[in-house]
Each structure stands twice: as structure tokens, then as C-alpha cells.
Structure 1
Amino acid sequence: MTAHTSPDTAARRGRRPGTNTTRQAILTAARARFAADGFTGTTIRRVAADAGVDASLVMQFFRSKNELFAAVMSVPADALTRFSAAFEGVDDGLGERVVRAFLDVWEGDARTSEPLMAMLRGAIVNDQANEQLRDFLQERLLVAAVPSRAAADGDAMLRAGIVSSMLVGLVVGRGVVGVPTLTGAERGKLIMLVGPAVQTVLVPAPPATDDEGTGP
């Protein structure tokens, strides 16, 4: 007796028409899974189930979890453009602009936020993610953001680095650790509270003159 494969059986096996469509479905599922569960908690089988394909098919496109993770961590270039734009313009309100842009990049649309969260969660246990996160913060984020200020302030890169560490800590508290007071806070409230602190670091007060504060 000859066995017949029904369309339903083929669908359960997860075969999707079109190489590009299948690969994109796997990447989309993996991006969300790595962002939610981190590198260690994500498995090829779970990604395959999320994408509706066989685990063996995932391995055909990506030979290992490391290779899949590397493909997922591609951050769209427009994320850098949006963050860099926050540094443009006058100093007034710079702190709030930077905080707003940072949260938009890290907590905005999934296309941008999920690769970043995957990096952040994976950096603790995965050397590749750690290196990628360092590169993103130092070279692709900071260098892209502060060149217009570097000429006037020799500490511009250091100031931006301190601010990025502050804001990454905020994202960790909200998106990784899940501190209730942070997860429950509205983004506008966070911008209002954190913005002045960022402003103080990025735009330090001018040094006091010798006669400042003295009487007549």
C-alpha cells in the first residue's frame, strides 16, 4: 500500500514555498525569541516551532545557533540615524531629546528593538553578543552621535559613553530585570525624570569665574 502525503501533512512539516520567504520567517521568529529568552534560553526547536518550519530546515539555512544569532543581530541603519539626530540642534532640551531617541530605538518597533534586546540579553553569556554590543555602543552609536560636539568638547565621547551606560542600565531595568517601578512607568515620565540628569552630563555648567558669588 502506497503512503500518500496530504497537504496538511506537508504544512505540519513546515515546508514553506520560496527560499527567501522561509529564511525571513525563521529570522523573524528567531529575533523575537532571542530578544525574549536570551541566547541560552533560545533553542533551534523553539525557533522552528515559532516560524512553523522543521528544525532541520532552520539548520539548512543557519548551521548553528551561533550563526542564527549572528544573523539576527543586524540593527537597521536608520536606528543610528534617529539617535544621531537627537544630538543636533541647540543645547536646551538635549537631555530629553537623547533619552527619548534612545528609548525609541530600544523600545520602539520590533525591527530595531528586538536585535538590540537580543544583544543585551546575550551579552552576559555569549562572547559574540558581548562584542557586538560593545561595537554598537562605542563605534556605531557614540561615534555616529557626537562628532559635531567633539571639536568643542574634548570629553564629548566620554560624556556620551557615560550617558549610554546610564540609559542601557535603564533598559536593563525595564526590559531584562523587569523592575516593577520601571516597567510600570510611562515613557514620558521617564523622559521627564532622566532627561535632566543626562542634560547635566552632556552639557556641563560653565566654570565659575573668580568673582562669582562674591559680594560687592
Structure 2
Amino acid sequence: MTAHTSPASSARRGRRPGTSTTRQAVLDAARARFAADGFTATTIRRVATDAGVDASLVMQFFRSKNELFAAVMSVPPEALTRFSAAFEGTDDRLGERVVRAFIEIWEGDARSSEPLMAMLRGAIANDQANEQLRDFLQERLLVDAIASRSVDNATLRAGIVSSMLVGLMVGRGVVGVPTLTGADRETLVSLVGPAVQSVLVPPPAGDEGNAG
């Protein structure tokens, strides 16, 4: 009598054709899972289930959850380019351009948004994610916005803007504060943009506090 093997169990035990294709499927599943659940709640077994492979196969590609997470946190170059483009042009309405670009790359296509959201959720419990997120934000701001301008306390200004932008995304994408999740992007841009503008583009010396 021939042993019966269900299609599901065959797919479960079998290896997908092509190592690179299988590895990418695991990465895609892990990226979505880390973005949705965070580092602590994500398990190798859950990722394997999402990818339709055995957990042992995931471990062959990535020796630990930390290594898998590190591979997931690769922000696509186009996301960096899009963020950098916000700083091109004059200082007029720079804050609004930065906030708009930031929200768009965090809430746009999954390839850009999921690594960033994985960083954000993982930063709470994973030092590597914390460092990666900090470097991504602060270096982008320092290189693209502040280093090209003559301002005092450049590093501090980059840190302040980073905190403002991350706080916005924590409230909107992680905590789910109703007033933030219910607001459309342009409303947020119009409200947060001027605050970011005031940090990135300080008024000329002697103009602070002038009431006219």
C-alpha cells in the first residue's frame, strides 16, 4: 500500500526550488513579521510557517533570530534617495518636505516601510535595531540637512528632529494613538512641518524673539 502524503505536508517538508528564491521568501516573510510583531514576539517557527518552509531551513540560511533580523534591516537605496531628495532646493518649507518624505517612506510600499517598521518595533528590545535606527535617522539628517548648512549645534539639531519624527511614527504606527492614526498625511505635514523647520533652519542671528 502506498503511503499517502498530503499536498500540504509535501510542501511543508520540501525545499522550494532555487536556494536564492527560498532565501528571499524567508526574508520577505521575516520582514513582514518583524514589522508587524516586533523582535521579541517574532519566532523562527512563525517566519518558517509564513514562508512555507521548515524552521530548520530558515536556520540553515540564518543561524539565529539576531542574524535573520540583521538581514531584514536593509533599507532599500531608493528610500534613502527619497529622503535625501527632501533636502534639495531652498530652505523655504524644508520642514514640511522632510516630514512628508519621512511619512511616505514609512507608510509607502512594503519594501521600504517594512524594514523601517521592523527597526522601530525591534529597537525596544534589540540593541542592534536601536543602533541601526539611530544611525539611519541621525546620519541622514546630518549629511543631507545640517552638514550642508551653517548652523550651530548640528548634532543636537539632528537628534531633536530624529526624536520628533520617530515619536510621530511610534504614536501613529506602533501605539496607534487614535488622533494620529485618523489624521491624513497632509494634516500631519502642516502641523509638524513648522516645528521641524524651526530646528533645521534657525532664524538669522539677532532675529530670535523679535516681535516686529
Same structural fold, with TM-score higher than 0.5 when normalized by the shorter chain: yes
Assess if the C-alpha contact under 8 Å between 1:82 and 1:101 holds in 2.
yes
Structure 1 residues 19-98: aligned runs within 5 Å: 19-98=19-98
Give the unaligned 5+ runs of structure 2. none
Give the unaligned 5+ runs of structure 1. none
Match for 1:171: what amino acid?
A: M
Assess if the C-alpha contact under 8 Å between 2:35 and 2:118 holds in 1.
yes
Residues of 2 paired with 1:131 and 1:5: CA distance? 47
What corresponds to 1:12 in structure 2? 12
Query: In the alignment, which of 134, 153, 156 is matched to residue 158 of structure 1?
Result: 156
What corresponds to 1:189 in structure 2? 187
Assess if the C-alpha contact under 8 Å between 2:96 and 2:192 holds in 1.
yes
1:5 deviation in Å? Answer: 5.2
What corresponds to 2:133 in structure 1? 133
Question: Which one is further off, 105-114 or 20-29?
Answer: 105-114
Residues of 2 paired with 1:49 and 1:30: CA distance? 10
Assess if the C-alpha contact under 8 Å between 1:96 and 1:195 holds in 2.
yes
Report runs of 4+ in structure 1 exceeding 6 Å deviation. none
Relative to structure 1, the CA distance from residue 187 to residue 20 in structure 2 (aligned partners, 3 Å threshold; closer, same or farther) is same
Match for 1:149: what amino acid?
A: S
What corresponds to 1:149 in structure 2? 148
1:157 deviation in Å? Answer: 3.7
Residues of 1 paired with 2:141 and 2:92: CA distance? 20
Residues of 2 paired with 1:204 and 1:127: CA distance? 33
1:132 deviation in Å? Answer: 1.6
Between the two proteins, what is the percent identity of the paired residues?
A: 79
Q: TM-score, normalised by structure 2?
A: 0.90
Q: How many residues are paired up?
A: 210
Relative to structure 1, the CA distance from residue 200 to residue 147 in structure 2 (aligned partners, 3 Å threshold; closer, same or farther) is closer
Assess if the C-alpha contact under 8 Å between 1:14 and 1:52 holds in 2.
no
Is the partner of 1:146 in helix, strand or coil?
A: helix
Is the partner of 2:148 in helix, strand or coil?
A: helix
Q: TM-score, normalised by structure 1?
A: 0.88
Relative to structure 1, the CA distance from residue 19 to residue 206 in structure 2 (aligned partners, 3 Å threshold; closer, same or farther) is same
Cα RMSD, aligned residues only:
2.1
Match for 1:59: what amino acid?
A: M
